[in-house]
Each structure stands twice: as C-alpha cells, then as structure tokens.
Amino acid sequence: MRTIAAKSILSTVKLGADSWFGFRYNMNLYRGCQHGCIYCDSRSSCYQLGDLSDIRIKENALLILEKELKSKREKGTIGFGSMNDPYMPVERKEELTRKALQLALRYRFPVHIITKSNLVVRDIDILKEISKIYAAISITITTSDDRLSRIIEPNSPSSSERFDAIKQLSEAGIYAGITLMPVLPFITDDQENLINIAYKAKENGAKYITAAIGMTLREGQREYYYNELDKHFPGLKEKYAQIYGNQYSCSAPESDALWSKLSSVCTAIDLPLRMNFYKPDIPEQMKLF
C-alpha cells in the first residue's frame, strides 16, 4: 500500500448521464482494489491499472475534489465505485470516501455509490443528509449463497452481510438497491439464485435491482479469471474458451429465459428493474416555458 499524487479526481461522463447508473461524474479516490473478486473487469489491460492488489491512496484527492466541485456548474450525480470499491478495507482507516461525501454535501451534489461492502452503513449520517438532494446506494450481490460468494468475491463481506446493509440503509430512509451483475455463466446463472436474490432484496427493503445477465472478459481480466476457474471450478475454463473464445461480452447461455423469469418475479413483488435517477429542480420561472 502506498500513496500517489493525483492530477484530477472527477471525470465527466460523455454524452450526458450514464444510462445504467445515472452518473454524470466518475470518481475514484483509490487505485486498485482489495476485494479480489475473480471476475473484476478493472483487471482489463485497457485500463492500465496494473496489479489491483497494489493499493494506491491518492494523497491529494480531497484538495483536488473540493477545487473541482467548486468549479462545476452542473450539479450532476457523482459516481463512487466505477473502478474500485470505495468501501474496501483501507477506507476504515483513510476515510477518503467519508470525507468526499462530506464535500459532496457541502457543495450540494447528488451521489450514487456502488459497493460490495457493509462498511457503507458507517456513513448513514451523511447519506441521510445528501438524500435530501439525492443519494443512491447500490450494493452488488451476485449470489445468495455465502459459501459461493467467498470463492468468487474472497475479500468482500458475505452476501448475508450485504443484504443486512441494505436493510439498515433502507430503514434509515436512504434509497438503496442491488446491482445483480455480473451473472457468471455456469456458476451463478441459475433461476433459483436469481429468484432468491430478488426475494431477499425485497425482504431487506431494496427499492430496485439493476441486472445484467452475463459478464465481460477482456485481455488481462480473462487470464486471471481462467486461472481462478482452474482452482475452484476444474474443467470450466475449457467450456468458456469453447463457447466464448475471445468475446468481450459473454451472456449466460439461457440469458433471455433468466431475464424473463427475473422480470416476472420482480413484477410480482413490486421490485423495479430500473432505478430512479437524480432530477434537478426546475426553477419556477423555467416551468412557465
């Protein structure tokens, strides 16, 4: 673990807000990630992040962030968690995410956090205040089975702990839901898993599920993932290679049927498959036009 200097913190999403998560700005306060998920897309060579386990703390991140927030004329949603988890273990000590949230609140910016960690509940006090503007917390859950989550997301809190975090956030009045992605072909792509996640999400107060029935595989990411398949799921690497080759986007074999089933279950339990995005207030004089 080491510190590095950053030149900028906020990056603007091209062509307006991101259609999946509503981000207008992306932000990463750390470089690398401690959660060690075997499928992580951030290992892809195109991102040039190097060894993800090499955690780099951006020592001047908060100074730069405050300067950038002051200069932004558009109050768009700040996305936490695009390239690493903002609540990985190092955050307990460094508190860069907590302090960044305090700055977002000071300058009246909406936020959307994507995380696999129950550490997010530490910041409920700040998130409740930001919720008066807009705050969304999406907790990634890929399997309802704690045993399996420890294999594919070895350094993350268990799925059960993440469901409990959603419950705490929801009970505090914070808009929280689930990102059900990726869905790993031949590992987590069964109807029972998806249905269990949907029902547990509803039971714990989730307000939405954002799902993608498949995964990405790119150079750098693919090699690491295949090595982990050999360790934990012998023979599966060859199946992937035969079906997907060097494809970037790898849909689960029964993705259409799985999506249909998930959609019908979520409709039955009144759990939206799309989240609500931040909508800025329109001044009264503009409404006249």
Three-state helix/strand/coil letters over 62-112:
HHHHHHHHHHCCCCCCEEECCCCCCCCCCHHHHCHHHHHHHHHHHCCCCEE
Question: 139 with 116: CB under 8 angstroms?
Answer: yes
Name the more confident of 182 and 289.
182
* Banded model confidence at residue 280, pLDDT cuts 50, 70, 90: confident
* CA dihedral (248, 253, 255, 256) positive or negative: positive
SS3 197: helix
pLDDT band at 14 (very low <50, low <70, confident <90, very high): confident
The residues with which 113 forms a beta bridge, in sequence order, are 80, 137
The CATH number assigned to the domain with range 2-280 reads 3.20.20.70
Q: Are 38 and 159 in contact (CB under 8 A)?
A: no
What residues contact 68, with CB distance under 8 A and at least 6 apart? 8, 9, 10
The ranges assigned to domains in the chain are: 2-280
- Asked whether the predicted pLDDT for residue 286 surpasses 60, the reply is no
Please give the distance of CA 91 from its chain centroid, rounded to a whole number: 16
The model's pLDDT over 177-227, given as tens digits with 9 standing for 90+, comes to: 999 999 999 999 999 999 999 999 999 999 999 999 999 999 999 999 999
Which residues are bridge partners to 209 per DSSP?
178
Pairing of strands 56-58, 30-31: antiparallel
Cα 33 to Cα 51, 86, 231, 249, distances in angstroms: 9, 9, 21, 23
The mean pLDDT of 264-272, rounded to a whole number, is 98
| Rounded-to-integer distance, Cα 93 and Cα 88, Å | 10
Convert the pLDDT of each residue in 65-104 to its tens digit.
Answer: 999 999 998 999 999 998 999 999 999 999 999 999 999 9
Please, what is the average pLDDT of the chain?
95
Residue 149: partners with Cβ closer than 8 Å, 6 or more residues away: 142, 143, 156, 158, 159
User: Over 70: is that where the pLDDT of 289 sits?
Assistant: no
CA atoms within 13 A on the CB side of 227: 7
- The 3-state DSSP class for residue 257 equals helix
Mean pLDDT calculated for residue range 132-150: 98
**Above 60 in pLDDT, residue 273?**
yes
Residue 18 pLDDT grade (very low, low, confident, very high; cuts 50, 70, 90): confident
Q: Which of 159, 67, 68 is nearest to 117 (CA)?
A: 159
